[in-house]
Structure 1
Amino acid sequence: MHEMMPVLLFVGVVATLLAGYPVALSLGGTALAFALVGEAFGLFEPAFLEALPNRLYGVMTNETLIAVPLFVFMGVMLERSRVAESLLDTMAMLFGPLRGGLGISVTLVGMLLAASTGIVGATVVTMGLLSLPIMMRRGYSPSLSAGTICASGTLGQIIPPSIVLVLLGDVLSSAYQQAQLEMGIWSPETVSVGDLFVGALVPGLMLVGFYILYIVGVAVFRPESVPAMPREDRPVDGTALAWRVISVLIPPLFLVVAVLGSILGGFATPTEAASVGAVGALILAASRGRLTLSTLREVVRQTTMVTSMVFLIFIGAAIFSLVFRGFGGDDLVTEFLTGLPGGTFGAVALVMLVMFLLGFILDFIEITFVVVPIVGPVLLAMGLDPVWLGVMMAINLQTSFLTPPFGFSLFYLRGVAPPEITTVDIYKGVAPFILIQLLVLGLLALWPALTTWLPGLVYAS
Structure 2
Amino acid sequence: MIDVIRHNMAPLMFAGMIVFMLIGYPAAFALAATGLFFGFVGIELGLIRPDFLGNLTFQMFGIVSNDLLLAIPFFTFMGAILEKCGLAEDLLDSIGQLFGPVRGGLSYAVIFVGAILGAITGTVAASVIAMGVISVPIMLRYGYSKRHTMGVIAASGTITQLIPPSLVLVVLADQMGKSVGDMYAGAIGPSIIQVALFCIWVFIVSMIWPEQVPALPPEARTLKGKALAWKCARGIIPSAGLIFLVLGTIFMGLATPTEAGAMGVVGAIAVAAINRTLSWSLLYAGMSSTMRITAFVVYILIGARVFSLVFQGVGGKEWIEHLLTGLPGGQTGFLVVVNIFIFFVAFFLDFFEIAFILIPLLAPVADKLGIDLVWFGVLICANIQTSFMHPPFGFALFYLRGITPRSVVSTSDLYWGAIPWLFLQLILVVILIFWPQSVTYWIDKGVKGDPSKIELKIEMPDVDLAPPKF
Query: C-alpha deviations, 1:17-71, integer Å up to 9, x for none?
Result: 3333322112112221222333344445443312111111112111211211111
Task: Give the AA of the match of 1:231.
Answer: P
| Identical columns (%) | 44
Q: Which residue of 1 aligns with 2:141?
A: 137
Residue type of the partner of 2:319? L
Q: Which residue of 1 aligns with 2:107?
A: 103
* Partners of 1:193 and 1:270 within 8 A in 2: yes
Letter in 2 for 1:137: R
Match for 1:199: what amino acid?
G
1:266 and 2:253 correspond: yes
Alpha-carbon distance between aligned partners in 2 of 1:345 and 1:8, rounded to the nearest angstrom: 28
Tell me which residue corresponds to 2:304: 317
Q: Deviation string for 1:302-353 (max 9, x for gaps)?
A: 2122112211211111101111112211110011111111122212222212
Structure 2 residue aligned with 1:445? 433
Q: How does 1:370-385 map to 2 (within 5 A)?
A: 370-385=357-372
Report the Cα distance in structure 2 between the residues aligned to 1:109 and 1:56, rounded to whole angstroms. 39
Q: Which of the numbers 321, 339, 342 marks the counterpart of 1:352? A: 339
Amino acid of the residue matched to residue 79 of structure 2? G
* 1:19-168 to 2 correspondences below 5 Å: 19-168=23-172
CA offsets, 1:102-153, max 9 Å, x none? 1111111111121222212332233222211221111111111111011111
AA partner of residue 83 (structure 1): L
Q: Deviations over 1:50-96 (max 9, x none)?
A: 21111111121112112111111111111121322222222221211
Indicate the residue corresponding to 2:186 in structure 1.
199
The structural deviation recorded for 1:167 is 0.4
Give 5+ residue unaligned stretches, structure 2: 450-470
The answer to whether 1:308 aligns with 2:295 is yes
Question: Structure 1 residue 398 and structure 2 residue 385: aligned?
Answer: yes
Find the partner of 1:5 among 2, 9, 12: 9
User: Cα distance, 1:383 vs. partner?
Assistant: 0.8
Are positions 1:223 and 2:227 aligned together? no
Question: Once the 2 structures are TM-superposed, how far is the Cα of residue 459 of structure 1 from its aligned partner?
Answer: 4.2
Cα distance, 1:102–1:438 mapped onto 2, change above 3 Å: same
Query: How many residue pairs align between the two structures?
Result: 444
Question: In the TM superposition, what is the alpha-carbon distance from 1:457 to its structure 2 partner?
Answer: 1.5
Q: Secondary structure at the match of 1:98?
A: coil
User: What one-letter code is carried by the residue in structure 2 that aligns with 1:299?
Assistant: G
The 1:278/1:3 distance shift into structure 2, 3 A limit, reads farther
Shift of 1:192: 0.4
User: Alpha-carbon deviation of 1:460?
Assistant: 7.0
Contact 2:120 2:246 in 1 (8 A): no
Higher mean Cα deviation, 263-272 or 278-287? 263-272
2:11 and 2:396 map into 1 onto residues whose CA distance is 29
For the residue of structure 2 that corresponds to 1:242, the secondary structure is helix
Do the aligned partners of 1:48 and 1:322 also contact (CA within 8 Å) in 2?
A: no
* Distance in 2 between residues matched to 1:24 and 1:361, nearest whole Å: 14
The 10-residue stretch of structure 1 (31-40 or 246-255) with the greater mean CA deviation from structure 2: 31-40
Q: State how far apart, in whole Å, the 2-side matches of 1:459 and 1:301 are.
A: 34
Normalised by the length of structure 1, the TM-score is: 0.92
Taking only aligned residues, the RMSD between alpha carbons, in angstroms, comes to: 1.8
So what's the TM-score if we normalise by structure 2? Answer: 0.90
2:199 paired residue number: 212
Once structures 1 and 2 are overlaid, which stretch shifts more, 12-21 or 77-86?
12-21
Distance 1:295 1:194 in 2: 31
